[in-house]
Chain A
């Protein structure tokens, strides 16, 4: 495009002074915000049970299709009765981890018997995420906040758009397609939560993590799981491994159709 102001009918410099060439010489993109996630974490999955919640996420930080970092912790216990599971961009995950830590410190200054609960953390994160997407500079994550709030299981989702919803089973990313159908076999609706015990919920999550490892190309068989219950509080299990995988059938598969040897 022709940026010469005189060709656009601008009076000579004597009338309005010299033309500010910075305008014409400005770059096409004056400022760029995050356009895409770089190092990423895949699914976070979670389920409610009668006394609390189970949440799990694997320990992989992918760099595109490269499985670059294999010891990334994506579950953050906050306060007494809450845990935040984060998927998506890992640098943004680290930032969210820091603001959650700040939040916890700020909360402890008062020491007035009030504690930061899962619902408070979720509300806060929702505000942060929606604020950032409104600045056209989102935090590229999907987050599940889980915990025991007011003696009841709490489970709620929030993502880079500030979208939130709640359900007895939740999952981000690939988990939404692969894990949720499995978890919903255990807990289909809110009324079912009362009939599910801790062990059943944990087994369902372990099974779903295994299926995710089978089918999600950005997943790992090493993962962490947090169980929060009324009676036992926060139980953080690290370095779990997807056990009892079934690969033996593979030896019988040959070629892609007609091949028999």
Chain B
């Protein structure tokens, strides 16, 4: 009776002008674990929460190096991120080969956007089910872009995507002034603080589930995993690596965005949905990372 007749494929607009298949793709991002990115004029940092399918399993990689000066963090379908990162690698190599210059971060993001947008325009295909944070350093400085499968690309000084990312975004918004001129090391600590806020109640950051990447002036894209992460975790001011207990709005399933004044009515139930998706209790869904 109330079946949606307008979500069968990407080429069908709903009577209100929406493309449901694209909106479903955006939902896949929210199923993936959180990644946080933040930038100053000179550096960009990506931090990511890795997930393992089960206790004995390995943790899914969340950050992919593209070139010496460029890398991405993903939330959503990992295979789609592999396709997109391989595409970016090709583009970066082609710029090197043909023009002897590094691929500009904005150009990289625009190429991704165009590629993703094509998928929303023709019958038979599907949109990518992954969101990316694109981080890089080029001759115009350090840049952080958020990519969505709808083809939207925007530049940010701080961004977070994936499950419970609203909490991380809130941290970035509140601490915006203190990290815009931060050093590389301070920026990483801020990133970890933001990532910690996205954790579920009984989880904590450790060297196994945390990935850090940094790129910037005189720093080629470097990825820290496993033991290399521990020194950074040791720098966190709190004694616990679990999410901070104080602070209004940081409690689970509450609307973190207190200063929104109801401008974002969707965020509340999103948070509830995210909380459910994060616990891995959805065996029938496609796996997202």
Contacts and interface: CB of A to CB of B under 8 A. Distances in A.
Interface in A100-137: 110, 112-114, 116-117, 119-120, 123-124, 127
A117 B104 CA distance: 14
B140 A113 contact: yes
A114 B104 contact: yes
Interface stretch (B24-32, B93-101, B221-229, B267-275): B93-101
A191 to B, nearest CB: 25
A112 B103 CA distance: 12
Interface in B96-133: 97-101, 104, 106-107, 110
Contacts of A123: 98-101
Contacts of A116: 99
Given A110-B106, A110-B110, A114-B107, A120 B140 contact: no
A117 B98 CA distance: 13
A123 B100 CA distance: 6
Contacts of A119: 100-101
Contacts, number: 32
A127 B101 CA distance: 14
A127 B140 contact: no
Contact of B97 (A112, A113, A127): A127
A122 to B, nearest CB: 8
Interface residues of A, number: 11
Contacts of B106: 110, 112-114
Contacts of B55: none
B80 interface: no
A138 B11 CA distance: 46
Contacts of A110: 104, 106-107, 110
Contacts of B98: 123-124, 127
A4 to B, nearest CB: 51
A112 B104 contact: yes
Nearest to A121: B99
Contacts of B97: 127
Interface string B38-77: 0000000000000000000000000000000000000000
A103 B231 CA distance: 47
B237 interface: no
B7 interface: no
A124 B110 CA distance: 22
A164 to B, nearest CB: 11
A68 B101 CA distance: 41
B255 to A, nearest CB: 36
Interface string B131-153: 00000001110000000000000
A113 B141 CA distance: 10
B251 to A, nearest CB: 41
Contacts of B104: 110, 112, 114
Interface of B: 97-101, 104, 106-107, 110, 138-140
Given A119-B101, A120-B99, A127-B97, 4 more contacts: A112-B140, A114-B104, A124-B98, A127-B98
16 contacts: A110-B106, A112-B104, A112-B106, A112-B140, A113-B106, A114-B104, A114-B106, A114-B107, A114-B138, A114-B139, A116-B99, A119-B100, A120-B99, A120-B100, A120-B101, A127-B98
